[in-house]
Every structure is written in structure tokens, then in C-alpha cells.
Amino acid sequence: MKKVVIQGLAVAFALISCLSLQGCSYQVQLSQRLLIQGIGIDYEDGVYRATVQVTKVSDQEENTVSLMNGEGDSAMDALNAITLANGKKPLYSHSLVLVLGRGCAEKGLSNVMDFFIRYPESHPTVNVLMADSSAEDILSTEQEDGKYIQARDIEELAKGGKYNGETVQTEMLDVINQLRGEGSSPYLPIVMQDGESIVSSGTAVFSGDQLVADLDAQETRGLLLITGKLHNGTAVVQSPEIGKVTLELEEASTKISPQIIGEKPRFSIEVECGATIGAADMPSGKSLDSKMYEKIGELLEEQLTQNCMEAISICIEDNHSDIFNFGRRLYQSQPAYWKQHEANWREEMDQAEYDVQVEVQLRRGGQEITGLQSDVNA
């Protein structure tokens, strides 16, 4: 019996020793890794340049970041060059953002995306953005205190569209799906330096994997409306009759119905959007009444419809870019037509008809700034 107990204790001790050794081994391995928080890829004069933000873990309340760079003939080669310079293997699973420089976007997305698709530690929910100039400039932006703006702050900027209605959010998986979809193309939020901060600057539009155009804030709102991704935002309408009215936009819903009429596709795009008056600066002596509300609703519907049509014009008609997934809807609802025209969809998409109807549900509320009566004749 005593022998059995001794053997049991020996086995338990051996197991504890193994677990302890594994823990030490893990700590050693982690100390030999670069904890990547953000990645930037630039392309210029035939050379790819990678910039990474590396987390410097410390006992302080907030960890700091440092920058590392590498160059190579491909994005993968440039990232590997960083390892050659410091002897540590990058840990990409913690990365929050991937920023592509404009030159890299013009060169094409496929070569860059291929590395992140194949790399096992790459996370599909990483936010992908395009820098208005270079990705290195974005990741090396210094704040007033001399510290770099961290990738988590850039990530929050990418998510800002849910509040402002003028910024898109694109994750790695979205880019991959758009590149591989039925005639679809990806889009990315654009960011730029503004002094010691980083701001949103529209939307980058691709045809296939090539950058072809930029959308401004209003055109981006049209894209969000068509794709059913507008959650909040503001809009301003004005006329001599009503003055200037600021509205808060609410969750929009979109229904797109494809039809084939006369051998050509026709897309009926119906958008419903709620809105509340945030502030109204009315002409002198006027206040909001039912007719005013009706006029405000009409002006807002016209504005949002114009936003949608401008986005379609720039993307579909001018650049043959289907970032709206119209082709995918044809594939789903008109499979016979799609089978015949899939190969030429990029050339034929501008021949289709796009009918946009926006209906605004205007809710009363908010602040009224009513025009004061003139006292000239008092």
C-alpha cells in the first residue's frame, strides 16, 4: 500500500514538473515574439515597405508602442525583413488594423491580401483602411505628448461610421469576399493625418483589386444607404422658405429588387430612413408647422436620393465598380441571366437601370430656433 502511495506521488510530481516547464517554455516563447498592434504596407518604385506598431509591455498602467520597418519585393518579404532585423517572430493575431498606402492600393490588393489570407495567425476581423498618402505616415503620427497614436485609436476611427453615417468600416473578411464575389469589388475607408491626429477622409473604391476612385462624405453616405449600413448621422437641409434645419438620421433599411426588362437589368432600390429634427433656424416670424415638416421631409428625401445616385454614378458608370453587390443580387434572383452575362458584368453594369426611391419618416422633436420678429416698425 505504501509503495502504491509513493508511486502515485511520484506521478503527480512528474506531471506538476511538466506543467511548470511548459509554463516557462511559453513565457520564453512569448518573450521572443513581437506583439504586433498595427500593420502598414506601402509600395513605391517597385519596393514594398512594411511598418508595424509593436506593443511594449510594461508594469505601467498603459503599454506604449514602438515602430519597426522592413522592405522587400513583396508584402510578405517586407514583413519578414522586420524579423531579420531583430530576431523575433511577429505575432499577428493581436493586430487591430491593416493600413494600406495609396501607392499599394494603386498597385493592387491581391498580392497584399494573399499573405494575410494564407498566414494562420492573421485574424479575419482586422480592420482594413487606406491611407490618403502613406501607411507609414498614419502609424507614425505623434500626439502632443510625443507618443504615437495607437492602432486601437485608428480602429475606433474605422468604427465611427455607425455614429456619423459618413465612414465605412471594412474588415479583412469583407475585402476577401468582395474580391471573390459575383462581379463585386471592395471598398476601404480613407484616413489621413490632420496635424497631431488622424481623421476619416472618404472611401476608396476599387474595380477588382485596383484603386479607381475616391468617394467624399456625402457619396459615402449614399453607399451606406444603398448597402443598408447607415445607422446614424446628420444632414442639413435649407431653403428660403424653411431656413436651415439640421436633422439626425436614424437606422435605414434598404430593399433592392432586380428585374430583367428588355434584356437589361433594372434595380429598384427602396430606402426607408428615420429622421429627427435636431435644430431649426427658421426665417423671422416663422415656426414649424405641418407644412414645414412636409417640406423638410421632401428636401431630405431629395438630398439622400442624390447621395445614392452620385455614388452609383461614380462607381458603376464612371469606374465599372460594383461595390454595392448588384451582381450578387442578379446571381441570386436571376441565375439564368447571370450565367450568360457574368463574364462581362464589369463592362455591362453601366447599361443597367438604377431606380432609387427614398422615404423619410420624420419624427418631431429636438430644438427649435425660431426667427425673431423684426422691431424695425416698433
pLDDT of 364 reads 72
pTM of the model: 0.85
pLDDT of 250 reads 94
Q: Name the residue among 366, 249, 227 with its Cα closest to residue 297.
A: 249
pLDDT category, 24, cuts 50, 70, 90?
very low
Mean pLDDT of 54-82: 83
Q: Cell numbers 436633422 label which residue? A: 247
pLDDT of 58 reads 57
Q: Cell numbers 437589368 label which residue? A: 265
pLDDT category, 274, cuts 50, 70, 90?
very high
Percentage above 90 pLDDT, the chain: 66
pLDDT category, 347, cuts 50, 70, 90?
very high
Mean pLDDT of 108-115: 89
Comparing 70 with 378, the larger pLDDT belongs to: 70
Mean pLDDT of 167-196: 95
Comparing 242 with 47, the larger pLDDT belongs to: 47
Q: Which amino acid is at 140?
A: S
Percentage above 70 pLDDT, the chain: 86
- The predicted-structure confidence for 114-148, as pLDDT tens digits, reads as follows 888 887 777 889 999 999 999 999 999 988 888 89
pLDDT of 89 reads 80
Query: In this structure, which long-range contacts are made by residues 107-112, counting pairs with CB atoms below 8 Å and at least 24 apart in sequence?
Result: 107/43, 108/209, 108/210, 109/175, 109/179, 109/186, 109/206, 109/209, 109/210, 110/179, 110/209, 111/74, 111/75, 112/41, 112/75
Q: How many CA atoms lie within 13 A of 248 on its CB side?
A: 11
pLDDT of 59 reads 55
Mean pLDDT of 345-352: 96
pLDDT of 31 reads 58
CATH class held by domain 217-373: alpha beta
pLDDT of 16 reads 44
Mean pLDDT of 250-256: 96
Cα 292 to chain center, whole Å?
36
Percentage helix, strand, coil for the chain under 3-state DSSP, each rounded to 5: 40, 35, 25
What is the Cα gyration radius of the chain? Answer: 27
Annotate 143-177 with b (16+ C-beta within 10 A) or e (fewer). Answer: eeeeebbbbebbbebbebbeebbbbbbbbbebbbe
Out of 115-124, 251-260, 364-373, give the one with best mean pLDDT: 251-260
- The predicted-structure confidence for 276-325, as pLDDT tens digits, reads as follows 999 888 887 677 788 889 999 999 999 999 999 999 999 999 999 999 99
